Amino acid sequence: MPRMTMIEAIRDAMDVAMGRDDNVVVFGEDAGYFGGVFRCTQGLQQKYGSSRCFDTPINESGIIAAAIGMASYGLRPCVEIQFADYMYPAYDQIVSEAARIRYRSNGEFTCPIVIRMPTGGGIFGGQTHSQSPEALFTHVSGLKTVVPSNPYDAKGLLIAAIDDPDPVIFLEPKRLYNGPFNGHHDRPVTPWSKHELGEVPQGTFKVPLGSAAVRREGSDVTILAYGTMVYVAEAAADEAAVEADVIDLRTLLPLDLDTIVTSVRKTGRCVIVHEATLTSGFGAELAALVQEHCFYHLEAPAIRVAGWDTPYPHAQEWDYFPGPARVSHAIREVMEA
Amino acid sequence: MVAENRLSFHVPEPEVRPGDEPDFSDVVIPRAGSVPRPSVDVDPKDIRDLAYSIIRVLNRQGEAVGPWAGALTDEQLLEGLKHMMALRAFDARMLMAQRQGKTSFYMQHMGEEAVSCAFRKALNPGDMNFPTYRQAGLLIAGGYPMVDMMNQIYSNELDPLKGRQLPVLYSSREYGFFSVSGNLATQYPQAVGWAMASAIKGDTKVAAAWIGDGSTAESDFHAALVFASTYKAPVVLNIVNNQWAISTFQGIARGGSGTFAARGLGFGIPALRVDGNDYLAIHAVSKWAIERARRNLGPTLIEHVTYRVGAHSTSDDPSAYRPKTESDAWPLGDPVLRLKNHLIVREVWSEERHKQAEAEVLDTVISAQKEAEKHGTLHAGGKPSTRDMFEEVFAEMPPHLKRQRQQAGV
């Protein structure tokens, strides 16, 4: 199997989707000729022509609205918002329109679009190149929200998202574009070519939306994570010297509750990890579900490790980012409870 | 040293308020027939003045004059008159139904009937409108069953939208009427996207976008214009300037500074202003813009100059912010009356036939209403099921919604 970075895997997914379905179109700011500021759409315009892959004006609302209009015509747009931090001008189109068109028209009009957005921190991106706004999407009825953590999943999930009949928010942790990252910023980063999940099948293959992956198995504690935090969780478990079930959620909505519940009932302990700010973050939903479904199996409170409730700072990057030290501390806390 | 002047803050105010004499003396109304009709492939630079004039066909005597006249047959005009009369009668009945508690809400079209009724007849089957909540004429003139509109308004057991949507926010793919949203202006750039899709696929269909004067202030108005212009999308961008956005006069959206049509010019989009109470002018101008779009010549912006005679909605009382008699003073008159007079001048219509037609239209509306009410009104009779509430959030119901549906006991 070929080795790919996450960028190459995402590009390959769009290439495959465009190759087998003329209705798939790709566009966004700098997504056409230049191939995207992260190179995710490189070569697609040359291969499929500028009516299938093109640059747009700098107007996020316009990008999403155009995609919605195209989807109601019958196309399957897969569009890019350059940074998740810049989706706010499009939020009205996403929440009031994309998410609800099927419901309000009783299925007469549907919105099979994918909105790709680079997300997450750990890159000295400061306040507007680091945010993790997933909770602003999972709170919206009618949206599906996906966060891949490796090239294999990124391709399989993106093809599944493009084929999906509903609007999908596809958040790509940009910190993982070139290699996995466990929060140890002082150590060299290994590229995806050295990682087993950098092996990506050619052609069409899908990772179904709504299924989590158990990254490692252990009986001491369950760690719920997604995106970059999957690798932080693994490192933290090693450093805390515990046998952890590390669950990569992959899709936040629909959520694979069965995998979570089975694991927490087995371990009796749960740590929830995300980069996004704590208060009303997706971790709150996870904690609530864990206590509703696993209360009598819990031997300690389910606790959350998350970004602080501040805007994402620049100089204080590693004080903000929930790295392995904070996560392993939390693991020891639930183990001792 | 020059003495510093203190700054002052400017808030536009309408010329008149309740109790004042209505005044439209600042509205410049060109003579009917005075505006030229360029060919559809004209260089947009050569018709910039059309954004500052008003294209009119019907003169004070009820005659159709000038280069925009002559496109419609007697039969087509009579049909147009009946559509407008039907919309007006429909509005009156539904307004009453709301007052009787049969529904929670209604919005009428009084004074604006010509805009959507005439535009609809300029489209081809398969074209798609992205309407606001005040273009039901697109449905009426498109032949959509009135009883289905009422079922939607009543949220009854036959409501095509299963009771999920507020009254008047209709949806019909088959009739080229995109699902209406409560969020203003969102549909404007969506129409552009639909048109882009038609061009991408090498189709022959065009889209029509709709917005009111007040909503042109929304960001999505700008988004639509820049996308439409950039991609030369086959779309007609309609602005219905009825002078009022609920209680705010058009000056709050900065009307009066140039025209709403003129905003297209900055994007290189040719823009026309049309007498929004002149069925013939609207049809001719719409046809022109639709033909431009269909010939791949790009978008056109049309400002329909009209007046919102009725209240904004059944929840609004205009006497709190404008003179009660303002609509009587509106210089472009009443669209139904003007077309009626024209047909009388053409000697294909008469006062008696008009009265008879009014009675017939009312009968049609009342029998549709009876039919709809057999299937329930908002608080009585048949209604959509609670199960319907959980359907169509997604194509397939995900596990969490199945759990919630079970909790709801359905």
Distance in angstroms (rounded) separating the CA atoms of residues A280 and B367: 53
Question: What's the rounded Cα separation, in Å, for the pair B63 and A208?
Answer: 66
CB atoms within 10 A of CB A248: 25
Contact B292, B262 (CB under 8 A): no
pLDDT band at B1 (very low <50, low <70, confident <90, very high): low
How far is residue B35's CA from residue B70's CA, in Å, rounded to a whole number? 15
The full length of chain B comes to 410
Residue A167 CA from chain centroid, whole number: 14
Question: Does residue B76 contact residue B343 with C-beta atoms inside 8 Å?
Answer: no
A65/B201 touch (CB, cutoff 8 Å), yes or no:
no
pLDDT score recorded for residue B393: 98
Crossing angle of the two packed helices B335-345 and B113-122, in degrees rounded to 10: 60
CB half-sphere exposure, A213, CA atoms < 13 A: 20
> In this structure, what token pair is assigned to residue A169?
């928010």
Using a CB-CB distance cutoff of 8 angstroms, which residues of chain B are in contact with residue A62? 189, 192, 220, 223-224, 226-227
Q: Do A103 and B130 touch (CB under 8 A)?
A: no
Q: Which residue of B has its CA nearest to A91?
A: B186
Q: Where in chain A is the domain with CATH 3.40.50.920?
A: 213-336
Please tell me the predicted confidence (pLDDT) of residue B4: 86
Q: Please state the φ and ψ torsions of residue B122, each to the nearest 5 degrees.
A: -90, -10
- The yes-or-no verdict on residue A58 having pLDDT over 70 is yes
Q: Determine whether domain A213-336 maps to CATH 3.40.50.920.
A: yes
Distance in angstroms between the alpha carbons of the first and the last residue of chain A: 45
Does B7 score more than 90 pLDDT? Answer: yes
Q: How many CB atoms lie within 10 A of CB A141?
A: 12
- Chain A residues whose CB is inside 8 A of the B399 CB are 210, 254, 257
Q: What is the DSSP letter of A21?
A: -
Taking CB atoms and an 8 Å limit, are A105 and B197 in contact across chains?
Answer: no
Tell me what ipTM this predicted complex has.
0.97
Task: Report the alpha-carbon distance of residue A178 to residue A193 in Å, rounded.
Answer: 9
Q: How many CB atoms sit inside 10 A of residue A107's CB?
A: 17
Q: Do A106 and B193 make contact, defined as CB atoms within 8 angstroms?
A: no
Evaluate whether B116 touches B137 at the Cβ level (below 8 Å): yes
pLDDT band at residue A337 under the 50/70/90 scheme: confident
Which residues in chain A have Cβ-Cβ distances shorter than 8 Å to B211? Answer: none
Instruction: Inform me whether the C-beta atom of residue B125 falls under 8 Å from chain A C-beta atoms.
Output: no
Domain with CATH 3.40.50.970 in chain A: 6-196
Q: What mean pLDDT value characterizes chain A? A: 98
The H-assigned helical ranges of A95-150 are 101-104, 135-138
What is the per-residue pLDDT across B70-110, written as a single tens digit (0 to 9) for each? 999 999 999 999 999 999 999 999 999 999 999 999 999 99
For residue A103, what are the β-bridge partners? none
Q: Using CB atoms, which residue from A68, A108, A210 is nearest to B190?
A: A68
pLDDT tens-digit map of A146-196? 999 999 999 999 999 999 999 999 999 999 999 999 999 999 989 999 999
Contact B197 A67 (CB under 8 A): no
CA atoms within 13 A on the CB side of A208: 6
Task: Give CA–CA dist B217/B38, Å, rounded.
Answer: 30
- Write the pLDDT tens digit of every residue in B237-254: 999 999 999 999 999 999
Q: Do B398 and A210 touch (CB under 8 A)?
A: yes
**Which letter, b or e, does each residue of A176-199 get, where b requires 16 or more Cβ atoms within 10 Å of its Cβ?**
bbbbbbbbbeeeeeeebeebebbe
Q: Using one digit for the tens of pLDDT, what is the confidence trace for A235-279?
A: 999 999 999 999 999 999 999 999 999 999 999 999 999 999 999
How many other β-carbons are positioned within 10 Å of the β-carbon of residue B375?
17
User: In angstroms, rounded to a whole number, what is the distance separating the alpha carbons of residues B197 and A72?
Assistant: 9
Inter-residue contact B127 to B208 (CB < 8 Å): yes
Answer whether residue B258 shows pLDDT above 90: no
Contact at 8 Å (CB) between B383 and B157? yes
Are B200 and A70 in contact (CB < 8 Å)? yes
Contacts of B167 in chain A (CB under 8 A): none
Q: Which two tokens stand for residue A227?
A: 């995106």
A226 alpha carbon, distance to own chain's centre? 7
* Chain B touched by A97 (CB under 8 Å): yes
- Please list every residue in chain B whose beta carbon sits closer than 8 Å to the beta carbon of residue A144: 394
For B325, list phi and psi in degrees, rounded to 5. Answer: -95, 15
Cβ within 8 Å, pair A105-B192? no
The maximal CA–CA distance of chain A, rounded, in angstroms, is 60
- Label residues B46-56 b or e (16+ Cβ within 10 Å = b): ebeebbebbbb
Residue B123: what pLDDT?
A: 98
* Structural domains in chain B, sorted by start: 44-379 (3.40.50.970), 385-410 (no CATH)
CATH of region A6-196, choose from 2.60.40.10, 3.40.50.970, 2.40.50.100, 3.40.50.10420 = 3.40.50.970
- φ, ψ of residue B152 to 5 degrees: the values are -70, -45
Among the partner residues A57, A70, A102, nearest to B196 by beta-carbon distance: A70
User: Before A254, cis peptide (omega within 30)?
Assistant: yes
Residue A150 · residue A198 · CB < 8 Å: yes
SS (H, E, C) chain B: CCCCCCCCCCCCCCCCCCCCCCCCCCCCCCCCCCCCCCCCCCCHHHHHHHHCCCECCECCCCCECCCCCCCCCHHHHHHHHHHHHHHHHHHHHHHHHHHCCCCCCCCCCCCCHHHHHHHHHHCCCCCEEECCCCCCHHHHHCCCCHHHHHHHHHCCCCCCCCCCCCCCCCCECCCCECCCCCCCCCHHHHHHHHHHHHHHCCCCCCEEEEEECHHHHCHHHHHHHHHHHHCCCCEEEEEEECCEECCEEHHHHCCCCCCCHHHHHHHCCCEEEEECCCHHHHHHHHHHHHHHHHCCCCCEEEEEECCCCCCCCCCCCHHHCCCCCHHHHCCCCCHHHHHHHHHHHCCCCCHHHHHHHHHHHHHHHHHHHHHHHCCCECCECCCCCHHHHHCCCCCCCCHHHHHHHHHCCC
8 Å CB contact of A254 and B399: yes
Q: What are the backbone angles phi and psi of residue B56, rounded to the nearest 5°?
A: -135, 145
Residue B12 to chain A, least CA–CA distance (Å) = 28
Active site residue A129: yes
Look at residue B177 in the predicted model and tell me its pLDDT.
Answer: 98
Tell me what the mean pLDDT of segment B42-66 comes to.
97
Min Cα separation B136/chain A (Å): 16
Q: Do B183 and A255 touch (CB under 8 A)?
A: no
Q: Is a pLDDT exceeding 70 seen at residue B223?
A: yes
The partner residue sitting opposite B162, judged by closest CB among A25, A57, A106, is A106
A222 touching chain B per CB within 8 A: no
> What is the three-state SS of A192-256?
HHHCHHHECCCCCCCCCCCCCEEEECCCCEEEEECCCHHHHHHHHHHHHCCCEEEEECCEEECCC
Asked if residue B188 lies in contact with residue A132, where contact means CB atoms within 8 angstroms, the answer is no
Mean residue pLDDT of chain B comes to: 97
Contact B266, B322 (CB under 8 A): no
What distance in Å separates the CA atoms of residue B342 and residue A101, rounded to the nearest whole number?
A: 42
Whether B329 contacts B24, CB under 8 Å: yes
Q: Is the dihedral of CA B301, B306, B310, B312 positive or negative?
A: positive
- Tell me the pairing of strands B248-249 and B244-245: antiparallel
Name the residue type at position B244.
W
Q: How far apart are CA B254 and CA A153, in angstroms?
A: 50
Q: How confident is the model at residue B54 (pLDDT cuts 50, 70, 90)?
A: very high
| Inter-chain CB pairs, A–B, below 8 Å | 146
Task: State residue A85 phi and psi, 5-degree precision.
Answer: -60, -20
Nearest to A69 among B172, B193, B395 (CB): B193
Cβ–Cβ contact B10 with A under 8 A: no
What backbone torsions phi and psi does residue A76 show, to the nearest 5 degrees?
-125, 85
The band of B264, judged by pLDDT with boundaries at 50, 70 and 90, is: very high
Cα dihedral across residues B338, B340, B342, B345: positive or negative = negative
Structure tokens at A114: 């994918």
How far is the C-alpha of B71 from the C-alpha of B88, rounded, in Å?
25
Over residues A61-78, mean pLDDT: 98
**pLDDT tens figures, A38-49:** 999 999 999 999
Residue B196 contacts A, CB cutoff 8 Å = yes
